Amino acid sequence: MISKLLKSIRQPQFVVTFSKLTIFFACVHFILETLHAIVFGQSLLGLLPDYIAVGLMISGGFAAMRNDDAIGILCGAWGFAFCLHYRSWAWRYEAFLDGMATPVNEGTMYVLGATLFISALSFLITLILCAPKTT
C-alpha cells in the first residue's frame, strides 16, 4: 500500500498538479499577508520572511513543473514555509497560554494552525518526492 502511494506521488502529473497548487497557495499567502500588514500595521521587516517564502514557493513551483529534478527547490520552499508558520504560530500560542494574547493575535493563531498543517503536509510530500528512487 505504501509503495503504491509512493508510486502515485512520484508521477509527473502529480508533481505538476502539486506545483500549481503550491503557486496558488503562495499567491493566497501573499495577498492575505499583505492585507494583514495593511490592516494591522506590520512593518516590512515582519513581512520580509513571508515574502521570501512566497518567492521560494513560486520559483520552486515553476522550476518543478519544468524539471522533475528541481523538486528540491520546492522542498526547500515548503520547509522554509513550515518553519515560518510554526514559529509564527508558536509565539502566539505561548501568549495565548500566558493570557497575554490580543484578539487579533488569537485569531491569527487559529489561521496559522491551518497553514501550519498545510505546510507540514506539503513539506512531507516534497521530502518523499526528494527521496532516492528505488527499483
Q: How do the pLDDT tens digits run along the chain, 135 residues long?
A: 667 777 777 788 899 999 999 999 999 999 999 998 998 888 888 899 999 999 999 999 999 999 988 999 999 999 999 999 999 999 999 999 999 988 988 988 999 999 999 999 999 999 988 887 765
The predicted model scores a pTM of 0.88
What's the confidence (pLDDT) of residue 4? 73
User: Among 55, 57, 52, which residue's Cα sits nearest to residue 21?
Assistant: 57
Rg, Å, the chain Cα set: 17
pLDDT at 81: 96
